[in-house]
């Protein structure tokens, strides 16, 4: 059985920092930025654990603005 690795790309300028994706992630690999904000002044979501994403797409599903894209690769 192939192992699947995921990668998350966040459109930081569209993200409004609602943190729904952070709560939805079963692996706790997402967080809102602490010291950076986008052009609108919102902290945005970012992947804090690079190699732990399994590509489940829970974060992308709950994002109300469609800011998150999840890529999956088989290892």
Q: Three-class SS string for 32-68?
A: ECCCCCCCCCCCCEEECCCCCCCCCCHHHHHCCCCCE
CB-based burial of residue 57 (10 Å sphere; 0-12 exposed, 13-18 middle, 19+ buried)? middle
Domain count, the chain: 1
Q: Report whether pLDDT(1) > 70.
A: no
For residue 31, the cross-strand partners are: 46
> What CATH number is given to the structural domain containing 60?
3.30.70.20
Note the pTM of the prediction, 2 decimals. 0.89
Q: Give the residue numbers spanning the domain of 63.
A: 4-74
Identify the residue whose tokens are 């997402």: 30
Give Cβ neighbours of residue 14 (< 8 Å, ≥ 6 apart).
65, 66, 67
pLDDT band of 75, cuts 50, 70, 90: confident
pLDDT band of 66, cuts 50, 70, 90: very high
The model's pLDDT over 4-60, given as tens digits with 9 standing for 90+, comes to 899 999 999 999 999 999 999 999 999 999 999 999 999 999 999 888 999 999 999
């Amino acid at each position: 059985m192939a192992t699947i690795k995921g990668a998350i790309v966040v459109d930081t300028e569209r993200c409004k920092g609602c943190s729904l994706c952070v709560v939805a992630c079963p692996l706790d690999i997402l967080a809102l930025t602490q010291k950076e904000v986008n052009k609108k002044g919102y902290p945005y979501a970012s992947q804090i654990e690079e190699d732990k994403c399994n590509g489940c797409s829970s974060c992308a599903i709950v994002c109300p603005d469609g800011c998150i894209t999840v890529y999956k690769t088989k290892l």
